[in-house]
């Protein structure tokens, strides 16, 4: 056992007691009272429609394009560092097979958690590929001669905070704790690691260096934020499609009135997949499922994922049109690969 949960938990509480001695003091990190927009645009993995997802370049471009929040998915390295990657495997978004050809598991995949941060930093981020090696989104950035590196969560937070400082802005961070149950089977605790990074970078129950959301597909992960770490951060319960196999949770049941009502005991927001929200476009108008009405009845705010110009639902003419429809339907925010198209 690595006991990363215990170590990170201790670090979380000890860091609060010494935060006043840190180089970046509370006064330096604190921001003015934050006025949040009524409808938010969340850059999905950064400006991933234009640059390789979760690269620092994608983060900066999302910021420059005016995203209200920038999403960071978190995986863990072998030495327990929080890195900004969507997949538990490196295969689809790095050149790992070229750099470390023998380091795959018996299933043929290269897992983030099998590499130290030092090894991960030797890799190059690439445009997302399908299992056969073809480009997932052929019209997007494809030049592999340009180098993009994996960033840690701390590096991403520092980058956004410094951009906020020099531009006098309050762009927020939207962090997803990935695959908590799978990591616990590997003897890691990703939530404890994330909370430790947050505490060291200006986020506590008393202050937030930037606006912040924490999201997860796993309800227990979100419950632990308040129960174990005593932080009242805005939490978002993500709802998947059962076919994705995210967790053993029955997400179909969660989308019912009773299921959504059960979420209100620990979250104020729910993250819904676009495919569960928009049933069809009929006679040029959207037809919504009842999940939006159910969420409104129980008092949950809704953020919808993911809007893509190169993957529009049938009958939708543009991303701008789709975003407008969702806003009119009462949704409070959207994830988009193209945060400028609004």
Task: Reply yes or no: is the peptide bond before residue 306 cis, omega within 30 of 0.
Answer: yes
| DSSP per-residue letters across 52-65 | -TT-HHHHHHHHHT
Alpha-carbon distance values, 124 to 96, 100, 117, 163 (Å): 8, 12, 13, 24
- Helix segments in 212-342, DSSP class H: 219-227, 251-254, 257-263, 274-277, 291-298, 319-328
Known active-site residue 44 = yes
Known active-site residue 303 = no
- How do strand 285-288 and strand 278-282 relate by DSSP bridges? antiparallel
Rounded to whole angstroms, the Cα distance separating 108 from 87 reads: 15
Sort 118 into a burial class: Cβ within 10 Å, 0-12 / 13-18 / 19+.
Answer: exposed
Rounded to whole angstroms, the Cα distance separating 153 from 324 reads: 32
Rg over alpha carbons for the chain, rounded to the nearest Å, is 20
Rounded to whole angstroms, the Cα distance separating 331 from 324 reads: 10
**Which of 54, 86, 269, 303 does the annotation list as catalytic?**
86
- Helix segments in 204-248, DSSP class H: 219-227
Please list the active-site residues: 44, 86
């Amino acid at each position: 056992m690595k006991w990363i949960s215990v170590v990170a938990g201790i670090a979380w509480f000890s860091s609060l007691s010494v935060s006043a001695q840190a180089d970046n003091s509370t006064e330096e990190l604190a921001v003015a009272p934050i006025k949040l927009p009524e409808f938010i645009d969340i850059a999905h993995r950064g400006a991933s429609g234009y640059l390789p997802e979760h690269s620092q370049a994608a983060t900066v471009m999302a910021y420059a394009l005016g995203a209200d929040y920038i999403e960071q998915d978190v995986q863990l390295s072998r030495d327990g560092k929080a890195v900004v990657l969507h997949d538990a495997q490196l295969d689809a978004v790095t050149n790992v097979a070229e750099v470390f050809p023998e380091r795959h598991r018996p299933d043929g995949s290269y897992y983030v958690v099998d590499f130290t941060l030092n090894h991960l930093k030797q890799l190059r981020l690439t445009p997302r590929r399908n299992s056969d090696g073809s480009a997932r989104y052929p019209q997007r950035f494809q030049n592999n001669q340009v180098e993009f590196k994996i960033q840690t969560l701390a590096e991403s937070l520092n980058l956004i905070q410094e951009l906020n400082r020099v531009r006098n802005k309050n762009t927020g961070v939207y962090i997803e704790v990935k695959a908590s149950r799978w990591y616990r089977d590997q003897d890691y605790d990703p939530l404890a690691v994330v909370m430790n990074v947050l505490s060291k970078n200006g986020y506590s129950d008393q202050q937030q260096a930037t606006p912040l959301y924490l999201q997860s597909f796993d309800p227990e992960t979100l419950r632990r934020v308040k129960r174990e770490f005593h932080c009242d951060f805005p939490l978002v319960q993500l709802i998947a499609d059962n076919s994705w196999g995210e967790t053993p949770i029955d997400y179909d049941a969660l989308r019912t009135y009773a299921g959504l009502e059960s979420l209100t005991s620990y979250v104020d927001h729910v993250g819904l997949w676009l495919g569960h929200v928009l049933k069809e476009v009929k006679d040029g108008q959207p037809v919504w499922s009842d999940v939006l009405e159910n969420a409104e009845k129980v008092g949950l705010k809704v953020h919808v994922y993911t809007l893509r110009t190169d993957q529009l639902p049938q009958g939708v003419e543009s991303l701008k049109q789709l975003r407008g429809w969702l806003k009119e339907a009462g949704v409070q925010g959207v994830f988009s690969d193209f945060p400028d198209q609004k």
